[in-house]
Structures are given as structure tokens and as C-alpha cells.
Amino acid sequence: MSMPNTLRIVLLGKTGVGKSSLANNIFGEAIFKINNLNDLERHCTTPETKYANGRSITLIDTPGFFDQGRSEEKMKPEIVRCITECAPGPHAFLIVLKVEKFTEHEKAVITQMCEDFSENALNYAVIVFTHGDQLPEGMKMEEYVEESKGLSDLLKKCGGRCHVVDNKYWKNSQEDDYRSNQFQVAELLNTIDKMVRENNGGFYTDEKLKEVERKILEEEELIRRSSGNMSQEETRKQAKSNVFKKQVDDAAPRRMRVLMKFAVIAGLFAIVSALLINSKFVKVLKN
């Protein structure tokens, strides 16, 4: 099965684990902005396409979908944007974790990923660890993972696929190839290529992604009819933007209806409470 013209890769993980830095390592240049932990509100899903390591790659860097304390209301548009940008589906998910203790919060990241997509998404996933300088000298990542049952179980679900980088200390000129970002990125892309071949050249998809892709194709046709001088790439980009805006706009009235329903219920409750209090007050006066 031939490889796709462009690999679509989605990076998932908590804020601060190094997703943007990993993306820059894959592209070999600082394309993605490294976001400050205090600047989360302005961090949005960002897609970039570049020819790197001998192939065309689209990286979709996501905000911290799985950060504690972030409301579903604020994250919903970003989840919609992510699904729109990676339609008709990603060839690979990169689950980005730090080389550190695998806690309940990290487990929740995987649970949320399977809820937003599905358990089947792990068949298209590679675990990438950052902060590789924390890896004990002479130890390989697979050995480190075996020391944690949680990580070991996750690795098995992801077909044993894992790699490690260090966004700060590892230099490509180091004597140890294993502790070189250049080496690890090349190995990571080889792993993704192998995974795509094992998936018969296909990509992950589900009903949501299929529906979004159908809307994008319809929008592309409308754009071509009204503006025939746009390139295919420009048409696709504009179509995705239009579909995303429509989905967010469509979701707003639904949220408003829910809020209105709660407001009506709260209002009725207040009226009933007031009547009950007043009736008791009248009885007291009569007595």
C-alpha cells in the first residue's frame, strides 16, 4: 500500500508537556509558538504543513484538552477545530507525556482521548516522551516504561510504539545516538510510516470526522463555483474555516437553549418558593 501524500499527525497531551517543542523538533525549525503556562486562554489548535524528513507532514498542535480546571464550554470550540483540521482523519496521534511518574491525571488524558475519539484511536497512536534528560543514564525508554504498570499497559494498547526526545538538553552532536533528537525524530517518523502500512495506508476516522469531511467537500464545491481562481490548497483551507465557523455558530444556539431552559426552571422554582413563603406568612398573620 502506497504512503499518503501528506501525513496528518495530531499531538495530544497536557499543557506544559512539550507538544509545541516536539512539533518544532519534527519540522527542524521553530514554527510553533511555545506557550506560557499562564497564557492558556490564547492557545488554540494550530495546524502547520511542511516538507520535512523527506515527506509532507501536517502537524496539528492542540491546546491542553485534558488540563484540570478548564471548562468544557471553553474547550468545545477547540475540539471542534481539531476535528475540522484533521478531517477526514489523522494518520497518527502522538500522545505526549513527560518522563515522570504516571499519575491518575495522565491516565485521565488517555481516558478523555478515547471519549473524544474512541478506543480504536490507540491503534493509530504513538507515545512520545519529552524531558528525556530525566531518563536514567544507559536506560532505554522501553525499560523505563516496564517499571510502571500504568505506562506498560498503555504501551501495549499502542502496539508497543514509543520514543523519547529532550527539547532542551539533547543536542544532535552527542556521541549517544539514542539521546539525539535528530535520531529520535527519524525513528518516530519511521514508526509512523510502519504503522500506516500496517493500517493498509489508512487513517483513523469515525462518524464525526466523516460528517465533517462531507461538509468540507460541499463547502469546497461552493467555493469553486463562486471563486474559480483559488488553488486547491487555498480552497481547502477556506472550506475548513467556513465549516468550523458554522459548527461553532450552530452550537451556540443549542447552548443558549439549554441555558434558557435552566433559567426558566430556576425562575419557576423562585416563584413557587415565594408563593409558599407568602402563604405561610399570610397564615401567621391570620393566626
Cα angle vertex 88, ends 85, 93, to 5°? 70
Domain ranges of the chain: 6-204, 213-270
Render pLDDT for 146-169 as a digit per residue (tens, 0 to 9).
Answer: 999 999 999 999 999 999 999 888
CA dist., res. 250 & res. 239, Å (int): 16
% of the chain at pLDDT higher than 70: 78
More confident residue, 95 or 258: 95
Residue 255, Ramachandran bin (φ over 0: left; ψ between -120 and 50: alpha; else beta): alpha
Residue among 85, 64, 49, 90 at smallest CA distance from 12:
64
Yes or no: is domain 6-204 CATH 3.40.50.300? yes
Kindly state the cell numbers that stand for 45. 489548535
Mean pLDDT value of segment 121-128 = 96
CA dist., res. 7 & res. 89, Å (int): 10
The residue behind cell 501524500 is: 5
Mean pLDDT value of segment 239-255 = 80
pLDDT exceeds cutoff 60 at 285: no
Confidence of residue 109 (pLDDT cuts 50, 70, 90): confident
Do 32 and 48 touch, CB atoms closer than 8 A?
yes
Mean pLDDT value of segment 106-124 = 88
pLDDT exceeds cutoff 80 at 122: yes
pLDDT for residue 245: 93
8 DSSP 8-state letter: E
Helix, strand, coil distribution of the chain in percent, nearest 5: 55, 15, 30
Residue 189, classed as helix, strand or coil, is: helix
Q: Which of 143-147, 149-153, 248-252 shows the lowest per-residue confidence on average (mean pLDDT)?
A: 248-252
Confidence of residue 63 (pLDDT cuts 50, 70, 90): confident
